[in-house]
Amino acid sequence: MTPTKIKTSSVSRSLSGNYWQRALELWESMKGNVLLEKWNATVIDGVQAVISANDALTVGHLGKRCSSDNHMDAVALFGEATQGRFPEQETRLRNILSIKSHVEYGPSLVKPKEGQRVFQDADRFLTWVQKELEKQPK
């Protein structure tokens, strides 16, 4: 069985920092919202921060970002960028992206326990990406 091709957009590696800046701003917003117990905003900020951080990582490593409508393609591109060396982070990314449509477009509200869990996962993923990006040559 032939693996499906991931729809990507080519992006200059020099623009990785722009995606990271977006991730940082959303990360800060997520932290503020968790303190205010605004769970819907916390989770939406967390999801979007993780997407931007993943884009920063894949652009930095591969010169491309996922442009597919399927969020799981971004996970596959992460695996390509990291050569499958970080399964824990890949699982974290998959878990966060799997709730994107539900929390952004679904009728139900985020419960505190779910908000805290997503906050923790997003915070850990973002901290890890930050360390990885610091290793990249400037």
**Domains in the chain: ranges and CATH:** 12-135 (1.20.120.330)
Q: Average pLDDT over the chain, rounded to whole?
A: 95
Closest to 50 (Cα-Cα) out of 124, 132, 136: 124
Tell me the whole-structure pTM to 2 decimals: 0.95
Token output for 72: 């799981």
| 103 vs 100: CA distance, rounded Å | 6
| 66 vs 112: CA distance, rounded Å | 30
Report pLDDT digits (tens) over 22-40: 999 999 999 999 999 999 9
Report pLDDT digits (tens) over 76-117: 999 999 999 999 999 999 999 999 999 999 999 999 999 999
